[in-house]
Amino acid sequence: MTGPSRGPGQHRLFWAALAAPGIIWLALLFIVPFYAILAIAGGQLDLFGNPVAVWNPLHWSSANFTGAWHDVAGASAFVGPILLRTVLYVALASLISLLIAYPAAYFVARFAGRRKALFLILLIAPFWISYMMRMLAWIDLLQTSGYVNKVLSSLHLISQPVDWLGGMWITVVLGLVYGYIPYLILVLYAGLDRIDQALIEAGRDLGLGRVRTFLRVTLPMSRQPILTGMLITVLPMLGDYFTNQLLSGTTGTAMFGNVIDDQLTSSGGVLAGQGAVFSLLFLLVLIAPMIYYVVATNRSSRGAT
């Protein structure tokens, strides 16, 4: 045996010890709440109709699962159209977000020059204000007597005030775009900023024009940031209920998150168990793109080395 050494094994132990608190923290904050949802989903109602979590899996009841199944596929099924609507809204909102965010991020990463810091601060600024406050601000702006209508009518674009908050799908979609676009821009910026300037210059040197350099060099290299950004915005959009709740007052724009919200806030929580089942189903559905992302990231990082 040699004396005390600082071999790789000890290094690994050291780093593992450093990472441990974070990993334990994450595990607690993910596994415990997840299990709590399971316990409510498999749980029952007490004498007064309040949901009671059942912690022992052997005692779980299937009532909430069959109830949820009836909502999806039974005679009284009603969630199908809502799921479709949710997917459509989110797809549209993501597309609009991407069309706005990509040029913005591209500009800051490539052309902002000395003002880059300023633009970065501007990009981060929305995070200083809570999501809820930003949405509430829109309620004032979008009212029939609000500034949006005033501006539009002063430009003679509309003859009568538009009831933006009266359950219009476009308001909800734009609300989603507005709410989540800062995340997308920031992720895209981080990715685009990392693209080696030399590669772009090489493209130009080899005779590609500006447009073709962008199409052949920059765009393929932004695939990963776009994927990351989409994931970061699409997942919360799919579960969003708050935007809808604030910006629309009608049933015609209800999204899946609203159904779960309504179940969880039902009187006494009689439907909370079913809401828990839906939350779990939702999680299962969302795991698919997550896995795709992980696989794609692995593949591209392996390709890079």
Distance in angstroms (rounded) separating the CA atoms of residues 38 and 44: 12
Run of H or E including 44: strand 44-45
Name which of 80 and 209 has its Cβ closer to other proteins. Answer: 80
Contacts of 153 (CB under 8 A, 6+ apart): 159, 161
Give the residue with the Cβ less far from other proteins, 126 or 289: 126
Could you give the string, one character per residue 90-129, with x where binding to other proteins holds by CB under 8 A and - elsewhere? ----------------------------------------
Contact 52, 272 (CB under 8 A): no
Q: Look at residue 53 and give its three-state secondary structure.
A: coil
How far is 234 from 31, CA to CA, in rounded Å?
23
Give the HSE-up count for residue 253: Cα atoms under 13 Å, Cβ half-sphere.
26
- The answer to whether the beta carbons of residues 180 and 215 sit under 8 Å apart is no
By rule CB under 8 A, what string of x and - marks binding of each residue 37-66 to other proteins? --xx----xxxxxxxxx-------------
Choose, by CB under 8 A, the member of 167, 221, 236, 297 that binds other proteins.
167
DSSP code for 78: -
Identify the residue among 153, 218, 224, 266 touching other proteins (CB under 8 A): 266
Q: Pick from 48, 45, 77, 43: which is nearest to 60 by CA?
A: 43
Count of residues touching other proteins (by CB under 8 A)? 47
Q: Does 280 bind other proteins (CB under 8 A)?
A: no
Beta carbon nearer to other proteins, 149 or 222: 149
Determine the Cα angle at 75 with ends 50 and 274, to 5°: 25
SS3 of 2, please? coil
Shortest spacing between CB 73 and other proteins, in angstroms:
15
Nearest to other proteins of 48, 198 (CB atom): 48
Q: Which of 250, 298, 300, 301 binds other proteins (CB under 8 A)?
A: 250
Interaction between residue 79 and other proteins (CB under 8 A):
yes
Choice from 69, 148, 262, 293 touching other proteins (CB under 8 A):
262
What is the C-alpha to C-alpha distance for residues 160 and 283, in angstroms, rounded to an integer?
43
Piece of 6-14, 87-95, 109-117, 160-168 that binds other proteins (CB under 8 A): 160-168
Q: Does 224 bind other proteins (CB under 8 A)?
A: no
- Applying CB under 8 A, the residues found at the interface with other proteins are 33, 36, 39-40, 45-53, 76, 78-79, 82, 130, 132, 136, 139-140, 144, 163, 165-167, 245-246, 248-252, 254, 258-259, 262-263, 265-272
